[in-house]
Amino acid sequence: MKSSGLALSMFFVLTAGIVASLTAPAIATPIVPDDLIDNGDAGYANSGSWNNGYTGNAFNPKFDGDISYSPTKGDTATWSFSNLNAGTYTVYAIWSYQSSTTLTPNAKYTIYDETGNELSSKTVSQQVAPAHDIQITDNDSDDEWFEKLGTVTVSDGTLDVVLSHEGATNSYIVADAIAITVPEPATLFVLAAGLVGIVRKRRSA
């Protein structure tokens, strides 16, 4: 009985550690995403009055050195990921920010599947920096922070992220890079199964 109690105690301690690691606010080391589309890359397109490939200093920082921007409410930018394996993906965005009314406080990212069904959406303010959810190194050797937009399930091999300008007509919206990752398998269930096996073995001994 003491062995069983010890195993169960170990289970709860290790479980608490895993849960804490899974809910950590940021990854300290830059990662390589499973896929990434920057503005200007294949898979990126926009509709409306966009200025593409902007490299000036008005909006900083810029992933890989440039951004696209638009001053027109209702304009959209789209990142299209294709040939994806069926499964679960986490979607992240980075944007230039400026703590003034120059950039919109209402930039809406909507994630769709191939048939146009909305899978998830999130509205962010481009007047503040993206949350420090993951870091990705760009070709300028900068470690840039991306904010999580959501985790979605893909079944048809395609995932579209559409950015829309929902703010005031006198503000700009910025389109930069979108990254997707396959979430790491949760080791909690494997650990639980192993510890349950230890308990059963101890009891049957």
- The residue assigned the tokens 């700009």 is 172
- Residue 183 sits at the vertex; the CA angle it makes with 108 and 8, to the nearest 5 degrees, is 130
**For 176-190, what is each residue's pLDDT tens digit?**
999 999 997 753 343
**What is the C-alpha to C-alpha distance for residues 31 and 78, in angstroms, rounded to an integer?**
23
**For 51-106, what is each residue's pLDDT tens digit?**
999 998 888 888 999 999 999 988 999 999 999 999 999 999 999 998 888 999 99
Q: What is the pLDDT of residue 9?
A: 46
Q: What is the pLDDT of residue 142?
A: 65
Q: Count CA within 13 A, CB hemisphere, residue 139.
A: 6
What number of other Cβ atoms are within 10 A of residue 17's Cβ? 11
